[in-house]
């Protein structure tokens, strides 16, 4: 791909030049890809002021027809630019092409249509029964109105998905937005800003798009008095910092954070299938997915047999050039992330885990890491408790079903999980006992625009996508008037 430069930010309906830019790197080669806009405090102020003005002084919040037209035109524009966005996503995220036909690009674009369709029919009003109180009758109803000016802060791993899973319902609800992209993947976010500015008719100030090389821009948004609500996806430590920072102005805080999800193989599971599922899941986007199952819980007596099967499957995972349609696994996002992954693997081995396969950075250019299997992992070890965000699967033996459930729940996280077994009812009963926001039973796919996604415990607060994802951006206002 040729070098790409974007030094503009979307502020108040205009593409404004940033004085500073920063370099972005192709994770599959380690070489500089181009430059992106580096917002400063002045840009943050201007973006919040514009979003505030659009929310407080225009009809955006009340004009459902306008919002519907804007969402439909955003959907059309994203379709028009789909292949350009695909190239950007492959280049800067290192996302395998195949994944861009799913959750890295095509599915998120369809999510815009989902929210436009939902907006057409969603009840923003709810009647309550007449209340007899203090000698009078009172007619009551609830109206749902936009939560206000939203700061949306994105991580690097699925930038299109996470931008649109926040933007589409926020716009449907009538909010205005300051969207901040991740430092490692600014272009997809800037491209979205440019498309919005040039092709959608979304009124000035309703969407503002910033990118920056460091965390300061995000941090400023989390304390800014002009922001009513924060929607954040990213790591749990940053989520905690955001919640603390937002408390000074008591903003609504929506958090989608990390995970350490467990896949439980029941004793009657088809082991060959299960091994394939476990291996290909952990290598999906090189393990850089918050909901990927990075712990594999297996019956103790089948541990070694399953380890052999999973290792064989990991050996078949095709990794390399993300632009190649046959590639299953691309690189990690950066050398920093690769060093973090490798450090965790080394510490896991030092703590007693058996390295079965992988365990090394791949020689050559780019930030690739070998598909890695660690067996006989202690459920209390760092590798079983902390998020790796790399293609590293930890196999943990359990004694019986209760033990499996106990180990699966022995985590500060509660984002997702999976169970595989011959009897779907038994597997479902096990799934019900795990405290997590989503669950796959026998390979079922829960991830779709109409399905709420989010975490229990330290995996977050609130739900993205589905009707719940729209309601996150709505305030409830209760009205009452004497009925006689």
Which residues are at the interface with ligand NAD (CB under 6 A)? Answer: 153-158, 180, 182-183, 215, 218-219, 222, 233-235, 238, 241-242, 256-259, 290, 387, 389, 415, 455, 459-460
Structural contact between residues 312 and 275, judged by C-beta atoms closer than 8 angstroms: yes
CA distance 114 to 150: 20
Q: CB nearer to ligand NAD: give 183 or 226.
A: 183
CA distance 479 to 145: 13
Q: CB nearer to ligand NAD: give 332 or 395.
A: 332
Tell me the residue number closest to ligand NAD, measured at CB.
218
| Active-site entry in 290, 386, 387, 472 | 290
Q: CB nearer to ligand NAD: give 109 or 182.
A: 182
Q: Residue 290 catalytic?
A: yes
The minimum distance between CB 289 and ligand NAD, in angstroms, equals 7
Q: CB nearer to ligand NAD: give 287 or 421.
A: 287
Q: CB nearer to ligand NAD: give 361 or 452.
A: 452
The minimum distance between CB 220 and ligand NAD, in angstroms, equals 8
Alpha carbon separation from 480 to 123, 125, 141, 474, 476 (Å, rounded): 18, 13, 7, 19, 13
| Active-site entry in 6, 92, 107, 256 | 256
What the block records as the tokens of 270 is: 């088809």
Helices 424-432 and 401-409 cross at an angle (nearest 10°) of 40
The minimum distance between CB 22 and ligand NAD, in angstroms, equals 12
The minimum distance between CB 383 and ligand NAD, in angstroms, equals 15
CA distance 315 to 178: 44
Characterize 255-282 residue by residue with b for buried, 16 or more Cβ atoms within 10 angstroms of its Cβ, and e for exposed. bbbbbbbbbbbbbebebeebbbbbbbbb
CA distance 32 to 21: 13
| Cα dihedral 113, 118, 121, 123 in deg (nearest 10) | -160
The minimum distance between CB 182 and ligand NAD, in angstroms, equals 4
| Phi/psi-derived region of residue 234, left when phi > 0, alpha when psi is between -120 and 50, beta in every other case | left
Q: Residue 175 catalytic?
A: no
Hey, is 296 helix, strand or coil?
strand
Give catalytic residue positions: 256, 290
């Amino acid at each position: 791909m040729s070098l790409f430069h974007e030094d503009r930010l979307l502020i108040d309906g205009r593409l404004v030049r940033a004085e500073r830019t920063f370099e972005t790197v192709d994770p599959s080669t380690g070489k500089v890809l181009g430059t992106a806009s580096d917002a400063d405090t002045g840009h943050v102020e201007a973006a919040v002021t514009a979003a505030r003005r659009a929310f407080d002084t225009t009809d955006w919040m009340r004009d459902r027809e306008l919002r519907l037209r804007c969402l439909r035109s955003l959907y059309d524009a994203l379709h028009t630019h789909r292949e350009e966005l695909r190239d950007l996503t492959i280049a800067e995220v290192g996302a395998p092409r195949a994944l861009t036909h799913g959750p890295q690009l095509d599915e998120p674009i369809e999510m815009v249509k989902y929210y436009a369709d939902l907006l057409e029919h969603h009840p923003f009003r709810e009647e309550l029964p007449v209340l007899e109180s203090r000698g009078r009758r009172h007619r009551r109803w609830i109206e749902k109105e936009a939560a206000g000016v939203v700061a949306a802060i994105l991580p690097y791993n699925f930038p299109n998905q996470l931008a649109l899973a926040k933007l589409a319902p926020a716009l449907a609800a009538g909010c205005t937005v300051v969207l901040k992209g991740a430092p490692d993947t600014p272009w997809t976010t800037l491209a979205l800003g440019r498309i919005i500015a040039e092709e959608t008719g979304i009124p000035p100030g309703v969407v503002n798009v910033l990118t920056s090389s460091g965390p300061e821009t995000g941090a400023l948004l989390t304390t800014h008095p002009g922001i009513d609500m924060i929607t954040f996806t990213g790591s749990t430590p940053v989520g905690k910092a955001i919640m603390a920072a937002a408390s000074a102005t008591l903003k609504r805080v929506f958090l989608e954070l990390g995970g350490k999800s467990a896949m439980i193989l029941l004793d009657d599971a088809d082991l060959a299938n299960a091994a394939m599922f476990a291996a290909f899941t952990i290598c999906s986007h090189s393990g850089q997915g918050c909901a990927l199952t990075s712990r594999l819980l297996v019956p103790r007596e089948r541990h070694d047999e399953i380890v052999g099967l999973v290792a064989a499957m990991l050996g078949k995972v095709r990794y390399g050039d993300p632009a190649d349609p046959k590639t299953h696994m691309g690189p990690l996002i950066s050398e920093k992330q690769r060093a973090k992954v490798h450090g965790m693997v080394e510490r896991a081995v030092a703590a007693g885990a058996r390295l079965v396969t992988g365990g090394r950075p791949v020689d050559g250019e780019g930030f690739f890491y070998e598909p890695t299997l660690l067996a006989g992992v202690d459920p209390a070890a760092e590798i079983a408790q902390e998020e790796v965000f790399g293609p590293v699967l930890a196999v943990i033996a359990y004694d019986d079903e209760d033990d499996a459930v106990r180990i699966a729940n022995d985590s500060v996280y509660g984002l997702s999980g999976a169970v595989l077994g011959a009897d779907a009812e038994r597997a479902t009963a096990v799934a019900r006992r795990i405290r997590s926001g989503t669950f796959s039973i026998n390979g079922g796919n829960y991830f779709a625009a109409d399905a709420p996604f989010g975490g229990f415990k330290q995996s977050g607060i609130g739900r993205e996508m589905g009707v719940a994802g729209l309601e996150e951006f709505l305030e409830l206002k209760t009205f009452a008037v004497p009925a006689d």
